[in-house]
A and B are shown apart, each in its own frame.
Chain A
Amino acid sequence: MRVHWRRMLEVAGPVVTRPFLFVSALAAVGILLSVFREFAGLHAVTALNDGYSWGLFKNFNVTTLTALGSGGYALALLTYVCNQGKYHSLMRTALLTSILTYTAGMIALSVDIGRPWNLFFMADPWVWNPHSILWEVAFCMTAYVMIALDFENLAPLLEHFEAENMPPLVRDVAGYAKRFVKAAYPYGVALALALPTMHQSSLGSLMLLGGTRVHPLWQTHLLPLLYVVMAFVMGIAFVELVLMASCTVWRRPIDRFMLASLSNIVSWVTAAWLMIRFGDLAYRGQLGAAFQLDFYSLVFLAETVMIAVPALMLRARGWREDPAKAFPTLGILTLGGMLYRYTPTTIAFRPGTGYHYFPSVPELLISIGFIALAVMGYLFTVKRFAILPATLEMSVLASTKQIKKGQAA
């Protein structure tokens, strides 16, 4: 029988499990090291230097991973702008991946900056430099994480507080808040669409500042466009991956046709992205450099193959409708996208002779620690709140169980 995801339902079972304890340990190591960094300086924990002054925290945890966390942006665009209401049941999963990756990225950024006490000046319009791309990124990202994403993620929280086992006052307040959310939702969603369009493209514009030090295969005035379109692709692909993995681990039915329709969109948008990418290379006369088979050309080819081949495979209906095949395909596509987002910042960034960068062990542990923090947030939230998509039958069954439990009590 065909599985239809129509509603959202929490995952049964305890939050604290062995995998949860494992990621908690990773997160604890990362947090301890980042506290140590505040007392020891950046040199003590990172391999950053005057040539490569941005490393993992900024280039990976923020620039690369927020592209993965663009699912909330991409799916809201499909659901609320392209009128694809069928994806509504995936919105909560997408929004959760977004708020978690962005929050983890913002924490990493606050560890990365050298003079965090001056963050206070982000609230002082007199010192703002609106011409600064980084100011624009910081401003739009903060507004996105602190206002738009929180608003979008309120619904499951309010429903939780409206439940019958809550004190009447809490239920009332949650009820009012929910009415407000319902009325104001379009304004919040529009904000949550406008802000990522700006900061995801600006993450690309940032590397325009690198000028000729970014290898010509990547340095182009189209970086903002390429960055934001890739974020759209990666955001959807990552939500699909998360859903497939979650449903497999927690034995929930997979609406493979819904996921296949997303994969279809992913492959078309990737094709458009590739056309822009190659059109730009041809226009700038860099196609020759792409096939020179030197180091940069090999990185370019690896990245392009990882993006183009999966997109092509997803064109086959049978392939994308089989989660066992679609999962690794989307996985490789996502890795290719991550490589594309990371390369201009580090691999293809050439600050001059004498400078080398490879992340140090503590740096890696901090970076992994913040990712682990996001995974913890995910494991907790999907078990406490109705986030993951479910079929009508599952929802009806769960609600009858709850009613029975209530009667028994």
Chain B
Amino acid sequence: MNVDRRTLFKIVAAGCAGVAGVRKAHAAAMQSNTEQLGLLYDATRCIGCKACVTACSDANGLTPDTGSSNGLYQAPESLNAHTKNIIKLYRSEDGSEWSYMKQQCMHCEDPACVIACPLSALTKGDFGIVSWNGTTCLGCRCCQIACPYNVPKFEWSSVNPKVVKCELCRQRLALGQEPACTAVCPKRAVIFGKREDLLTDAHKRIAATPGKYYQDRVYGEKDGGGTQSLYLSHVAFSKLGLPDLGDKSVASGVREVSDNIYQHGITPVAVYTALVAVTHRIWSKHLKHSEKEAEELGLEEQL
């Protein structure tokens, strides 16, 4: 992780040095675009300042959602068409247990939204970032049905509605900057880096303080087939709204069923051929019968 931050600083410095530097950084990024980048959020470090929420809106040109604050300050109640990143508070009924929770796209390794999208508007692209392309999007919202984390949001009030979700600030990455939420976090509760580095870091933290973290494990390492946004927490993940999905992705389950049925398109062709053969025989029999009947009765033939 440290190495990665150092690289990032170098890239930022290069960016300051001039346009040429930015181009170089861009080229460097493009060379390793198969590397998975992601976030690690440690709920025990988060102080709930919501600086990341504001920074996210700024970086992504979103109108702040003032929610229930009477227009006074940014206070979204959940992820929505104006909010790609949110800090929520979980508190048990007796108040003895509480935790903050950061929610944004999980950038799944095998994303349900991508397999759901009929016209490939959602894709898992460079750095494993799941991003949306409005050129082909139908606005069918199948991504919303499919996402087990309830992340993609839709501009319901717009006549040109877009799908709104965290894209790991890919426009900032292209400039050699890190995502807005990690850049502003004062407690380093959420950090940015290569997925494998983040995992190593997370496991170090778990090893250093056994029993501190829930189940001594990282959510997203395997959950739902693995995600690039990773979580550490002292309370149960399910209480933070991270569903218990098992190690298999939703997408792989769906693929399994439909591949078993379709066998790369062989099944439909075989079924069609068989149906033609059967109906052909029955239809010619029917035609003979109906022609004869029409003749006998002096009525027009009815197919």
Q: Mark A residues whose CB is within 8 Å of B.
A: 7-8, 38-44, 48-51, 53-54, 79-81, 83, 85, 88, 112-116, 118-119, 121-122, 124, 127-129, 131-136, 138, 155, 159, 178, 181-182, 185-187, 189-191, 193-194, 197-198, 201-202, 205-206, 208-213, 221, 224, 351-352, 354, 386, 392, 395-396, 399
Q: Which of B275, B280, B289, B299 contacts A85 (CB 8 A)?
A: B289
Q: Are A80 and B282 in contact, with the CB atoms below 8 A?
A: yes
Distance in angstroms from B212 CB to nearest chain A CB is 28
24 A-B contacts (beta carbon < 8 Å): A7-B299, A41-B155, A42-B156, A53-B145, A81-B278, A112-B140, A114-B155, A114-B161, A118-B119, A119-B138, A127-B120, A127-B136, A128-B120, A129-B115, A132-B115, A134-B118, A185-B279, A185-B283, A186-B276, A194-B268, A194-B272, A194-B275, A205-B258, A212-B243
Q: B residues 218-258 with Cβ under 8 Å of A?
A: 241, 243-245, 250, 253-255, 257-258
Q: Are A41 and B150 in contact, with the CB atoms below 8 A?
A: no
Q: Which residues of B contact A181 (CB under 8 A)?
A: 303
Q: Are A114 and B141 in contact, with the CB atoms below 8 A?
A: yes
Q: Are B268 and A198 in contact, with the CB atoms below 8 A?
A: yes
B137 within 8 A of A: yes
Q: Which of A51, A85, A186, A351 contacts B279 (CB 8 A)?
A: A186
Q: Which residues of A contact B141 (CB under 8 A)?
A: 53-54, 114
Distance in angstroms from B268 CB to nearest chain A CB is 6
Q: Which of A88, A129, A205 contacts B257 (CB 8 A)?
A: A205
Q: Are B250 and A211 in contact, with the CB atoms below 8 A?
A: yes
Cα distance, A193 to B261, chains bound together (Å): 16
Q: Which residues of B contact A115 (CB under 8 A)?
A: 134, 137-139, 160-161
Q: Are B297 and A392 in contact, with the CB atoms below 8 A?
A: yes
Q: Are B120 and A134 in contact, with the CB atoms below 8 A?
A: no
Q: Are A209 and B150 in contact, with the CB atoms below 8 A?
A: no
Q: Are B276 and A190 in contact, with the CB atoms below 8 A?
A: yes
Distance in angstroms from A386 CB to nearest chain B CB is 7
Q: Tell me whether A135 and B243 are in contact in the complex, defined as CB-CB below 8 angstroms, given that A41-B159, A193-B275 are known contacts.
A: no
Q: Are B286 and A88 in contact, with the CB atoms below 8 A?
A: yes
Cα distance, A39 to B280, chains bound together (Å): 49
B287 within 8 A of A: yes
Q: Are B258 and A131 in contact, with the CB atoms below 8 A?
A: yes
Q: Tell me whether A396 and B116 are in contact in the complex, defined as CB-CB below 8 angstroms, given that A41-B156, A133-B258, A208-B257 are known contacts.
A: no
Q: Tell me whether A185 and B116 are in contact in the complex, defined as CB-CB below 8 angstroms, given that A53-B145, A132-B142, A209-B250 are known contacts.
A: no
Distance in angstroms from A52 CB to nearest chain B CB is 9
CB-nearest residue of chain A to B148:
A211
Cα distance, A39 to B141, chains bound together (Å): 19
CB-nearest residue of chain B to A40:
B159
List 7 A-B pairs, minimum CB-CB distance, nearest first: A114-B139, A135-B118, A190-B275, A115-B139, A43-B156, A53-B144, A155-B303
Distance in angstroms from B269 CB to nearest chain A CB is 9
Q: Which residues of B contact A132 (CB under 8 A)?
A: 115-118, 142
Q: Which residues of A contact B2 (CB under 8 A)?
A: none
Cα distance, A119 to B161, chains bound together (Å): 14
Cα distance, A229 to B150, chains bound together (Å): 31
Q: Are B272 and A395 in contact, with the CB atoms below 8 A?
A: no
CB-nearest residue of chain A to B141:
A53
CB-nearest residue of chain A to B80:
A50
Q: Tell me whether A121 and B144 are in contact in the complex, defined as CB-CB below 8 angstroms, given that A185-B303, A194-B275 are known contacts.
A: no
Q: Which of B116, B150, B245 contacts A50 (CB 8 A)?
A: B150
CB-nearest residue of chain B to A37:
B159
B213 within 8 A of A: no
Distance in angstroms from A193 CB to nearest chain B CB is 5
B158 within 8 A of A: yes
CB-nearest residue of chain A to B270:
A194
Q: Which residues of A contact B286 (CB under 8 A)?
A: 85, 88
Cα distance, A189 to B300, chains bound together (Å): 23
CB-nearest residue of chain B to A120:
B136
Q: Are A48 and B283 in contact, with the CB atoms below 8 A?
A: no
Q: Which residues of A contact B148 (CB under 8 A)?
A: 211-213
Q: Tell me whether A189 and B117 are in contact in the complex, defined as CB-CB below 8 angstroms, given that A54-B145, A212-B148 are known contacts.
A: no
Q: Which residues of A contact B271 (CB under 8 A)?
A: 194, 197
Q: Are A190 and B80 in contact, with the CB atoms below 8 A?
A: no
Q: B residues 164-187 with Cβ under 8 Å of A?
A: none
Cα distance, A49 to B141, chains bound together (Å): 10
Distance in angstroms from A385 CB to nearest chain B CB is 11
Q: Which residues of A contact B250 (CB under 8 A)?
A: 208-209, 211
Q: Are A189 and B279 in contact, with the CB atoms below 8 A?
A: yes
B31 within 8 A of A: no
CB-nearest residue of chain B to A38:
B159
B100 within 8 A of A: no
Q: Which residues of A contact B150 (CB under 8 A)?
A: 50-51, 351-352
